[in-house]
Amino acid sequence: MFVLVNLKAYPCDPVAVARAAHDVAEESGVRIAIAPQAADIAAVADTGVETWAQHVSPNGYGSHTGSTLAERAAAAGAEGTLLNHSENRMKLADIDASVEAAERAGLETCVCANNPEQIGAVAALGPDSVAVEPPELIGGDVSVASADPDIVTDAVAAAEAVDDAVDVYCGAGISTGDDLTAADDLGASGVLLASGVAKADDPKAALEDLVAPLR
């Protein structure tokens, strides 16, 4: 199971969270990555933890003021990128262009979607992975794997029907080891989470609890 922690724009210390994630990954053998704000990618990558961008723009070099260039994210230390998060929705054509931009820069890609139908559509664009995240559960205390398990199994089936090489993750409300186990049982190969770690008083303890079932 892959664990990707999205720090969003939360007022946490990204380097402290990254160090905690690196330590837990080393101790547990679980693959854990951190997605900080673009300005913090280099500092987070310097901790040695696997580092992802929260977004890259659907363009290459040129006159694109305000864009997040995939090549520069990679140069700063990012190894992958999220795309189309529910808090940063993109048009399908732009998702396609961003996937291509990320591939040019050597970044792994995870495209988010709200439901199994959208999962099938974005899986057809050839990302490395997709993540189903019902917006109404994001930031809540109940995980998608518990609240609506069918959406996870249906998302796995939708992606497999298009391209069985695309990994399927789930997110929204993930915070405990039980949530991780439930996601695994439903066929997901990874989870996305944010507030469960970024807002935790002790991010290392939160991560240790999350990955405990995988030890």
Please check if 7 is assigned to a binding site: yes
Least confident of 87-101, 137-151, 191-205: 137-151
- Answer for the pair 24, 208: CB distance below 8 angstroms, yes or no: yes
Please check if 8 is assigned to a binding site: yes
Please check if 193 is assigned to a binding site: no
Rounded percentage of the chain residues whose pLDDT exceeds 90:
84
For residue 145, the Cα-to-chain-centroid distance in whole angstroms is 16
Structural element, H or E, at residue 108:
strand 108-113
- Answer for the pair 2, 31: CB distance below 8 angstroms, yes or no: yes
Please check if 6 is assigned to a binding site: yes
Please check if 57 is assigned to a binding site: no
Q: Give me the mean pLDDT over the 84-92 stretch.
A: 95
How far is 29 from 42, CA to CA, in rounded Å?
Answer: 23
Here the tokens at position 129 are: 């992975």
208 is annotated as an active-site residue: no
Please check if 119 is assigned to a binding site: no
Q: How far apart are the first and last CA of the chain?
A: 11
Instruction: Go through the domains of the chain in sequence order and give each one's CATH number.
Output: 2-195 (3.20.20.70)
Q: Is 17 helix (H, G, I), strand (E, B) or coil?
A: helix
Return the axis-axis angle of helices 203-211 and 177-185, rounded to nearest 10°.
40
85 is annotated as an active-site residue: yes
pLDDT digits (tens, 9 = 90+) for 177-215: 988 998 999 999 999 999 999 999 999 999 999 999 987
Choose, from 26, 133, 160, 208, the residue flagged as catalytic.
133
Choose, from 64, 85, 87, 100, the residue flagged as catalytic.
85
**Residues in the chain, how many?**
215
